[in-house]
Structure formats: structure tokens, C-alpha cells
């Protein structure tokens, strides 16, 4: 039997793969063209459904290069100039029919349900006759003349003129993303095109007395990562969450985790996270403590500070000073102790012993180098082969930056492909 020759096959039905197919489908030029998505999982958009704690923070109105890590910032800037947040928001609202809502610069579907986004993409693809094959993983790719031949794990062969690799990174492997880009395109390119994948946007682990007792506690503040050389390597502010494993997480911790992973890889064994657990300056905190010392002379420290600090935080910090918050009043602390307490509340040092692996990280850093792709995400020296989304060496901090990269790279590839057939 003669095999169908597709105009474009997209390997991976995640955010990038679905969006690329949708962009291809909308191009009038493509009427009558055959597009196929091959997805290893039993449904498309598995990871997309988990995003934003199930609410899908799908983009950010303040896309800023400083929020991304890549091997080619110049090209990344040009990608966002050509297809950015306004284009994505327009496409979602006016083509996919998803009403969007902003929380500051963060953009969500107005339903605050990621399933709305997955469904909008699914329905649009079905409306436009894009074929989807589920539960089949592509295992090998060959290029013969100008045609790509794909072999799947069920021994099926697929043939296409244009091929898009949208297989994601290595995180949350249960969603199907297991870093396949390397294995799939290595034979068509070479190893110098890859930066090894590693977890980014992940939690940090620490072994220090009392930290497990803080499990579940959230503080608004900031975190600085200090390397063994004593220099600040990264900083971020926002919510810090103490984890049940005895470590820290939360958006601002995840945003600095990339720097920690790098330090560990460089062999640094003396990494500290310095936490401001109050979101205030030392001067402000000291003044608040002085006022409470006068107002509540008879109360124990935990009770006297309860209006400004969670009890667990007071206990935890005073334990570090060798004191018991429920056994003494603020009057029992002399001025130097009050300053020490203030300093700890605003710069609490946590020795970092590790980080959450692939199953905990929200994105991967690494992947196919952006500098080895052209403006359409086409692999230089391998015409017809495109790589998009997290499979490319571009990763951002929390806040819709990673999905915006998925949409941008997908749309640019679709534009390039429509000029190619």
C-alpha cells in the first residue's frame, strides 16, 4: 500500500505542537494540505493542562529578554519582535475564541481553567481537519532526498516533506516529555547543536534543624542565592514556600533555581539561599519589634509578634538564635538580640544541599541551540526540519514566559513552513 506523504508532521502534541498545527491550519494556503500530529500520550496537551496550577498562565504582557536563558539572545529578541504576546492574545481571542483576563501582566483564560486552552486548540484542529495519532512515539527519523521518514514504536512508517519536532524537555516525564529531541535529530545534525537538558524552575532542598517543621508555611519576601565565593548569583522576590521535604519552593525560589543547578554542576558545595521572610527592610522590622516590645511587655515573643509574623516563623528564627519564642518576652531580649532577630528575619541563611529533579521541575534548561536554527526555527543545514518549544535551548522564569516561547516558536515555524510548500 502506498504511504501518505504529509506536507507537515509535528512530533509532540503539547503546547508548541498544537499551536504550530493551529497556525498551519489557519493559513489559507494550507487548504488541501495534509498535516499530522503524532503524540506519544493518550491525549494531547497533557502538560499544558497542568500549567499555572490548572489555571494556565498562558502569556505575559511584559515579555522581557532578561527573563530568559538561551544561547542566542539576539535571535530570541528577533523572534519575540516578529511574534509576541499581542499576536498570541489576538489569536486566542479572535481565532480560538478564548476570552482572556489579566492579573497584572499575567494573562489567563477568563475561565481560569487550563482545559479551556487545551480544548480551544483541540476543537480548532478538528474543525480544520488536522489529523492526530495518539499513543505512538516516534523513535527514529531518516531524511532521504527531501523527504523525512519516521518510524514509530508500533513499527509504523510516516512520510513527510516538512517535519516539526515539538517533543518538549525532560520535566514531568509522566506527561510524555522525556527529552527525545536529541535522540530523534542527532543523526540529522550533530552533538554540538545541543546543550544538555537539566531541571529549571524547581524547588531547593536544605538540611537544617527545624526546617521540616516549617512545611506548608508561606512568606512574602525575597531570596538571594550566594555561591561559595560569597557573591550573589541570583535574586528574586515573591512568595517563599517551605516544603514538606525540608526545603524551599514557591515562584521566587523556582526563579533562582537555575542558578543553583549551575553552581552544583560547577562543583560548588557551599551554596546558600538567604531569605528575607518579611518582605520589609531591616529598619522597618526593627522599628515594628521595638513598638511591640513597648505595647506587649507581658506577652511571650511569639504572641507579641503574632500580628506581624506567623508564629512558626518567630519560633523557627528564634530557635536559630538558641532561644525559645514561647518562653521569654521581648523585654528579655536586649538591643543586640533584637538586632540579631531582625537580621535573621531579613537575611535568614539556608544552606542548600540539592534541588528537585525532573519530576519536580516545571521546565528544563538546555535543548537544541537557538543559534543553530534560522528565523523560522528551521535547522540550519537541514531544510524542512524545524524544532520548537521547550526542545529548544530557551527557558524563562515563572509568569507565562515559557508558554509564550512555545507559542512564538510554533508560529514562526508555521510561517516558515507555509512558505516552503
Ligand X SMILES: Cc1cc2nc3c(=O)[nH]c(=O)nc-3n(C[C@H](O)[C@H](O)[C@H](O)COP(=O)(O)OP(=O)(O)OC[C@H]3O[C@@H](n4cnc5c(N)ncnc54)[C@H](O)[C@@H]3O)c2cc1C
Q: Which residues bind ligand X (CB under 6 A)?
A: 11-17, 38-41, 46-48, 50-52, 56-57, 137-138, 166-168, 171-172, 175-177, 180, 362-363, 389-391, 400-403, 406
- What is the spatial distance between Cα 200 and Cα 70, in angstroms, rounded to a whole number? 13
CB nearer to ligand X: pick between 366 and 400: 400
CB nearer to ligand X: pick between 180 and 415: 180
CB nearer to ligand X: pick between 172 and 348: 172
Q: What is the dihedral of CA 407, 412, 418, 421, to 10 degrees?
A: -120
CB nearer to ligand X: pick between 57 and 312: 57
Q: How many CB atoms lie within 10 A of CB 294?
A: 9
CB nearer to ligand X: pick between 255 and 390: 390
Shortest Cβ distance from residue 208 to ligand X (Å)? 27
- Helices 114-127, 15-26: axis angle to 10 degrees equals 40
CB nearer to ligand X: pick between 85 and 415: 85
Residue 179, SS3 per DSSP: coil
Shortest Cβ distance from residue 1 to ligand X (Å)? 23
Q: How many CB atoms lie within 10 A of CB 213?
A: 14
Shortest Cβ distance from residue 322 to ligand X (Å)? 39
Shortest Cβ distance from residue 138 to ligand X (Å)? 4
- What is the spatial distance between Cα 85 and Cα 107, in angstroms, rounded to a whole number? 9
Q: Are 6 and 149 in contact (CB under 8 A)?
A: no
Shortest Cβ distance from residue 224 to ligand X (Å)? 24
Shortest Cβ distance from residue 180 to ligand X (Å)? 4
Closest by CA to 181, choosing from 150, 138, 131, 136, is 138
Q: Are 55 and 106 in contact (CB under 8 A)?
A: no
Cell of 271: 551554596
CB nearer to ligand X: pick between 11 and 302: 11
Contacts of 368 (CB under 8 A, 6+ apart): 165, 181, 185, 189, 193, 194, 379, 387, 391, 392, 393
- 371 burial class (0-12, 13-18, 19+ CB within 10 angstroms)? middle
Shortest Cβ distance from residue 298 to ligand X (Å)? 47
Closest by CA to 38, choosing from 81, 6, 61, is 6
Nearest position to ligand X, beta carbon: 14
- What is the spatial distance between Cα 43 and Cα 322, in angstroms, rounded to a whole number? 54
CB nearer to ligand X: pick between 172 and 242: 172
Contacts of 36 (CB under 8 A, 6+ apart): 6, 8, 9, 10, 130, 131, 132, 133, 158, 160
Shortest Cβ distance from residue 162 to ligand X (Å)? 17
Cell of 7: 506536507
CB nearer to ligand X: pick between 254 and 259: 254
Shortest Cβ distance from residue 2 to ligand X (Å)? 24
Amino acid at each position: 500500500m502506498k504511504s501518505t506523504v504529509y506536507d507537515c508532521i509535528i512530533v509532540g502534541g503539547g503546547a508548541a505542537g498544537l499551536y504550530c498545527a493551529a497556525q498551519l491550519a489557519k493559513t489559507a494556503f494550507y487548504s488541501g494540505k495534509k498535516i499530522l500530529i503524532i503524540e506519544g500520550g493518550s491525549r494531547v496537551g497533557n502538560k499544558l493542562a497542568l500549567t499555572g496550577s490548572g489555571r494556565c498562565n498562558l502569556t505575559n504582557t511584559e515579555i522581557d529578554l532578561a527573563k530568559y536563558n538561551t544561547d542566542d539572545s539576539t535571535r530570541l529578541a528577533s523572534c519575540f519582535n516578529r511574534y509576541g504576546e499581542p499576536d498570541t492574545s489576538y489569536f486566542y481571542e479572535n481565532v480560538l475564541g478564548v476570552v482572556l483576563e489579566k492579573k497584572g501582566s499575567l494573562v489567563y483564560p477568563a475561565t481560569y481553567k487550563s482545559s479551556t486552552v487545551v480544548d480551544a486548540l483541540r476543537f480548532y484542529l478538528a474543525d480544520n481537519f488536522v489529523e492526530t495519532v495518539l499513543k505512538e512515539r516516534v523513535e527514529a527519523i531518516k531524511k532521504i532526498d527531501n523527504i523525512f521518514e519516521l518510524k514509530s514504536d508500533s513499527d509504523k512508517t510516516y512520510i513527510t516533506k516538512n517535519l516539526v519536532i515539538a517533543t518538549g524537555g525532560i520535566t514531568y516525564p509522566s506527561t510524555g516529555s522525556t527529552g527525545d529531541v536529541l535522540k530523534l535529530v542527532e543523526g540529522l545534525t550533530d552533538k554540538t547543536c545541543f546543550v544538555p537538558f537539566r531541571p529549571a524552575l524547581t524547588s531547593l532542598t536544605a538540611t537544617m534543624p527545624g526546617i521540616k517543621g516549617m512545611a506548608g508555611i508561606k512568606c512574602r519576601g525575597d531570596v538571594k542565592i550566594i555561591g561559595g565565593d560569597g557573591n550573589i548569583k541570583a535574586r528574586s522576590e515573591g512568595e517563599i514556600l517551605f516544603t514538606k521535604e525540608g526545603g524551599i519552593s514557591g515562584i521566587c525560589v523556582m526563579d533562582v533555581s537555575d542558578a543553583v543547578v549551575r553552581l552544583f554542576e560547577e562543583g560548588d558545595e557551599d551554596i546558600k539561599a538567604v531569605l528575607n521572610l518579611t518582605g520589609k527592610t531591616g529598619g522597618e522590622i526593627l522599628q515594628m519589634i521595638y513598638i511591640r516590645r513597648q505595647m506587649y511587655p507581658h506577652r511571650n515573643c511569639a504572641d507579641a509578634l503574632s500580628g506581624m509574623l506567623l508564629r512558626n516563623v518567630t519560633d523557627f528564627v528564634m530557635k536559630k538564635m538558641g532561644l525559645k519564642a514561647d518562653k521569654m518576652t521581648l523585654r528579655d531580649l536586649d538591643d543586640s538580640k533584637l538586632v540579631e532577630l531582625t537580621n535573621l528575619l531579613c537575611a535568614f541563611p539556608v544552606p542548600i544541599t540539592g534541588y528537585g529533579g525532573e519530576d519536580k521541575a516545571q521546565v528544563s534548561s538546555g535543548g537544541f541551540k537557538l543559534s543553530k536554527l534560522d528565523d523560522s526555527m528551521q535547522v540550519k543545514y537541514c531544510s524542512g526540519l524545524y524544532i520548537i518549544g521547550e526542545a529548544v535551548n530557551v527557558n524563562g522564569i515563572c509568569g507565562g514566559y515559557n508558554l509564550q516561547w512555545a507559542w512564538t516558536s510554533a508560529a514562526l515555524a508555521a510561517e516558515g513552513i507555509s512558505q516552503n510548500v
